[in-house]
């Protein structure tokens, strides 16, 4: 049984876990990167996958993360220099997109979860809008990171409708918000992670209300941890599927099959 993982950071997970390789049973995933060296790690994984019998399905995504302005400020980058640093990341993104190296653009989006993130929302909006334009130009799905800023994003529904696909990573909105986006013509998928293991009422409500063909699942490894965990692992994807299957009252095998088809649809992959 293949459990598709719609969002993972392989370079970061390999670094914190000390592992030499991704787990052998981990067969279908979107490797997300926000820096050149992270993207190179994903490319290396895909090259290795192509040489394996049966192969892994490795999708590559790159984006300018909405937390980057605040991270640069924390690192002591002078405020006057932050815009040019962001422009450098956007330039790298466009180079990758123009070179047809990407399966998706992201993660981009908006994050107002902490005061320092919220203080950079205007820069985040500029970054997100620039990335939406690139995604439309190059025909790329967008992976969206959204925390406590849904109103600002939903003002852009017309823009979202014009994107090939939108994957809401770690969906934390309500069922009503998700269904509204679908009704308004946004080609969206909603990805759920280990929040299902915590029994979040909002997440469970969204999961159970959404059409099965719009569901994805993820680990966000090494992030998205539960209490007491130092980091999240790719192997956790099996636990996410088990929890979701139980909540939806369907066999895990059926959910895995549906989610794999959704993964291919969201990331523009033709089924074998």
Question: Residue 270 has what pLDDT?
Answer: 41
Question: Residue 269 has what pLDDT?
Answer: 55
Question: Residue 36 has what pLDDT?
Answer: 98
Give the global pTM.
0.96
* C-alpha count within 13 angstroms, C-beta hemisphere, residue 89: 29
Question: Residue 199 has what pLDDT?
Answer: 87
Enumerate the domain spans of the chain.
Answer: 5-266
Question: Residue 272 has what pLDDT?
Answer: 32
Angle between helices 175-183 and 201-209 (to 10 degrees): 30
Question: Residue 201 has what pLDDT?
Answer: 92
Question: Residue 116 has what pLDDT?
Answer: 96
pLDDT in tens, the chain (272 residues): 999 999 999 999 999 999 999 998 999 999 999 999 999 999 999 999 988 887 799 999 999 999 999 999 999 999 999 999 999 999 999 999 999 999 999 999 999 999 999 999 999 999 999 999 999 999 999 999 999 999 999 999 999 999 999 999 999 999 999 999 999 999 999 999 999 999 899 999 999 999 999 999 999 999 999 999 999 999 999 999 999 999 999 999 999 999 999 999 999 854 33
What CATH number does domain 5-266 carry, 1.10.3720.10, 3.20.20.140, 1.10.533.10, 3.30.1490.390? 3.20.20.140
Between CA 93 and CA 65 the distance in angstroms is 11
């Amino acid at each position: 049984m293949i459990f598709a993982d719609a969002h993972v950071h392989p370079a970061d997970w390999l670094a914190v876990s000390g592992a030499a390789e991704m787990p052998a049973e981990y067969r279908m995933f979107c490797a997300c990167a926000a820096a050149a060296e992270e993207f190179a790690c994903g490319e290396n994984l895909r090259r290795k996958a192509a040489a394996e019998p049966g192969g892994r399905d490795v999708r590559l995504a790159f984006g300018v993360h909405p937390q980057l302005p605040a991270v640069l400020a924390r690192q002591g980058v002078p405020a006057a220099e932050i815009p040019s640093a962001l422009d450098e990341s956007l330039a790298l993104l466009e180079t990758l997109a123009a070179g047809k190296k990407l399966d998706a653009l992201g993660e981009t989006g908006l994050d107002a979860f902490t005061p320092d993130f919220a203080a950079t929302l205007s820069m985040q909006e500029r970054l997100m809008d620039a990335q939406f334009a690139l995604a439309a130009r190059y025909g790329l799905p967008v992976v969206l990171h959204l925390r406590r800023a849904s109103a600002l994003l939903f003002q852009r529904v017309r823009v979202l409708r014009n994107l090939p696909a939108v994957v809401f990573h770690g969906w934390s909105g309500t069922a009503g918000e998700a269904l509204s986006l679908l009704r308004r013509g946004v080609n969206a998928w909603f990805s759920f992670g280990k929040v299902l293991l915590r029994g979040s009422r909002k997440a469970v409500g969204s999961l159970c209300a959404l059409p099965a063909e719009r569901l994805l699942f993820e680990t966000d490894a090494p992030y998205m941890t539960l209490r007491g965990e130092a980091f999240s692992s790719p192997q956790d994807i099996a636990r996410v599927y088990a929890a979701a299957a139980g909540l939806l009252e369907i066999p895990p095998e059926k959910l895995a099959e549906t989610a794999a088809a959704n993964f291919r649809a969201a990331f523009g992959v033709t089924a074998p």
